[in-house]
């Protein structure tokens, strides 16, 4: 068993919401420990799409994902947090005056409150069954370095934000980009879909990947659709079908889940005492999963948990400019 740590707040998840919550907790005078199963800060933004532009953050008409993470890390440093990276939060014990979380590596963290912002386990991509045998040999589930696909014929599979964003990102780099989506309508932002349709990307809707073939690497793909089966010569396939997060620990903790999300109230409280949640991991009526919304939820959670940890402090923090 590793040595234990103590803090006012334990944040589980070092993605954007977790990093902003860390800063804000420090601003409110709390000490913070941050745990994440990944070995780097930034969550999916850093691991999956560090080069992708992000458009929905206030104050930034357009910002590179890794640049946003770097600024969040810089901001969070003001709270002087302790980071435990490569640790999965496994066990939860509830005490009258706090919580104790034990990681899969045996480290115990005692805190006055727990804030879940993701980071419960390593996320795994939803597979493309027809081509999974070519994973790492021309089939990939993320594009952390778009330059690797320069000059190649690329097939992107999916209809969400990641698929559309990667297709647009690769358009000026690749020799050609084709996007295949099994439905007619897209789940991506309307503006992104408009940009896609105005681009040189070849868009095949109501189509699915039937087969992926090649030798050492992907060489061609069969796509089936309203016009029958067509064969496309491709060098790379990007399967942007989403990711699954392992939330098994949450179920064992007794946290109320709404499908795969944590149910919270308007103050970001879960059904467990001293346990709050914020960001993409949460569920409530009217929920919108945007980075900017996650920032607001992080601030709500921290402000509402402050008097739980420090009864001498109010929920309302005052203005940040007063702290200067």
Which amino acids are annotated as binding site for FAD, given as ranges? 36, 44, 49, 89, 123, 280, 321
What does the radius of gyration of the chain's CA atoms come to, in whole angstroms?
Answer: 22
Q: Which residues contact 129 (CB under 8 A, 6 or more apart)?
A: none
Q: What angle do CA 224, 228, 234 make, to 5 degrees?
A: 50
194 alpha-carbon distance from chain centroid: 24
Please tell me the distance from the alpha carbon of residue 324 to that of residue 317, in angstroms, as a whole number: 14
Q: Is the dihedral of CA 258, 264, 269, 271 positive or negative?
A: negative
Alpha helices in 199-268 (DSSP H): 248-253
Q: With beta carbons less than 8 A apart as the criterion, state whether 262 and 282 touch.
A: yes
Residues flagged as binding site: 36, 44, 49, 89, 123, 280, 321
């Amino acid at each position: 068993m590793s040595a234990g740590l103590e803090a006012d707040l334990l944040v589980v998840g070092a993605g954007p919401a977790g990093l902003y919550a860390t800063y804000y907790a420090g601003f409110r005078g709390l000490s913070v420990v941050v745990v994440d199963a990944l070995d780097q800060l930034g969550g999916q933004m850093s691991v999956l799409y560090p080069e992708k532009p992000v458009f929905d953050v206030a104050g930034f008409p357009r910002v590179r994902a890794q640049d946003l993470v770097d600024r969040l890390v810089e901001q969070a440093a003001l709270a002087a947090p302790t980071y435990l990276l490569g640790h999965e939060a496994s066990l939860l014990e509830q005490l009258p005056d706090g919580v104790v979380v034990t990681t899969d590596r045996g480290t115990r963290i005692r805190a006055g409150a727990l804030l879940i912002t993701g980071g419960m386990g390593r996320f795994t991509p939803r597979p493309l069954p027809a081509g999974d045998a070519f994973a790492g040999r021309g089939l990939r589930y993320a594009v952390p370095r778009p330059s690797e696909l320069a000059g190649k014929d690329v097939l992107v599979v999916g209809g969400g934000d990641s698929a559309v964003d990667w297709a647009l990102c690769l358009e000026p780099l690749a020799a050609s980009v084709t996007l295949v989506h099994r439905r007619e309508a897209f789940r991506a932002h309307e503006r992104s879909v408009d940009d896609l349709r105005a681009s040189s990307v070849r868009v095949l809707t109501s189509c699915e990947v039937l087969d992926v073939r090649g030798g050492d690497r992907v060489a061609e793909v069969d796509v089936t659709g309203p016009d029958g089966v067509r064969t496309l010569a491709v060098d790379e396939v990007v399967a942007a079908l989403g990711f699954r997060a392992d939330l098994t620990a949450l179920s064992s903790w007794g946290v109320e889940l709404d499908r795969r999300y944590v149910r919270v109230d308007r103050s970001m409280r879960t059904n467990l005492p001293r346990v709050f949640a914020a960001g993409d991991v949460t569920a409530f009526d009217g929920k919108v999963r945007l980075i900017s919304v996650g920032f607001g939820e992080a601030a709500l959670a921290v402000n509402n948990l402050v008097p739980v940890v420090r009864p001498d402090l109010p929920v309302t923090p005052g203005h940040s400019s007063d702290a200067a």
